[in-house]
Amino acid sequence: MEGEVVRLHGLQNKLSLNGALALILSKHSEEGRWIVRPYGVSSEPVAVRTANLQTGRELSESLRQGLFVAVALSVLLVAAAARAGPRSRLRALVPVASLLWFLVAVLGCYYLHAPLLASGVYVPAISEMGISNSARLLYRVAFGLCGFLLAVTLLQMHDLMSHHHSDISVQDSGLVWGLLASFGIALQGVCTLRVDFGMETVLHLCGAMVTMFGTFSHAEKSNGWFKSLPEGSPLLRRGWRGFGLSLRKDHFEALGSGSSPLLAMFMVPLLLQGSKRLGLFAELNVVENCMGIMQWAVVAGIAAFFCSYAFDLIAV
CATH label of the domain that carries residue 39: 2.30.30
Query: Same domain, yes or no, for 178 and 120?
Result: yes
Strand order, beta sheet including 33-38 = 46-49, 33-38, 21-27, 5-8, 53-55
**pLDDT value, residue 76:** 96
Crossing angle for the helix pair 133-164 and 61-84, nearest 10 degrees? 10
User: What is 149-187 written as a DSSP string?
Assistant: HHHHHHHHHHHHHHHH-TT--HHHHTHHHHHHHHHHHHH
Are 130 and 44 in a shared domain?
no
What angle is formed at CA 281 by the lines to CA 269 and CA 37, rounded to 5 degrees?
105
Cβ-contact 227, 248 below 8 angstroms: no
Co-location of 231 and 253 in the same domain: yes
Full domain range(s) for residue 233 = 61-314
Residue type for position 214: G
Q: At which of 38, 55, 72 does a domain end?
A: 55
Q: pLDDT tens, position by position, for the chain (316 residues)?
A: 778 899 999 888 888 888 888 889 888 878 888 998 888 666 688 888 989 999 999 988 999 999 999 999 999 999 999 888 777 788 999 999 999 999 999 999 999 999 999 888 888 889 889 999 889 999 999 999 999 999 999 999 888 888 777 777 777 778 999 999 999 999 999 999 888 778 999 999 999 999 988 988 888 888 888 777 777 777 776 666 677 777 777 666 655 555 556 666 667 777 777 776 666 566 667 777 887 888 888 888 889 889 988 888 886 6
What is the structure's pLDDT at 315?
A: 65
Q: How far is residue 105's CA from residue 18's CA, in Å, rounded to a whole number? A: 29
Are residue 135 and residue 246 in the same domain, yes or no?
Answer: yes
Same domain, 218 and 280: yes
Question: Kind of pairing, strands 21-27 and 46-49?
Answer: unpaired
User: Within this chain, do residues 165 and 22 fall inside the same structural domain, yes or no?
Assistant: no
Give yes or no: residues 50 and 110 share one domain.
no
Burial bucket for residue 197 (CB in 10 Å: 0-12, 13-18, 19+):
middle
**Whether residues 41 and 72 fall in one domain:** no
Which residues, at least 6 apart from 65, have a Cβ–Cβ distance to it below 8 Å? none
Q: How far apart are alpha carbons 2 and 22 in whole angstroms?
A: 11
Closest by CA to 80, choosing from 99, 66, 58, 97, is 97
- The count of structural domains within the chain is 2
Rounded Cα distance, 164 and 60, in Å: 48
Query: Do residues 51 and 66 both lie within one domain?
Result: no
- Among positive and negative, which fits the CA dihedral 262, 300, 188, 151? negative
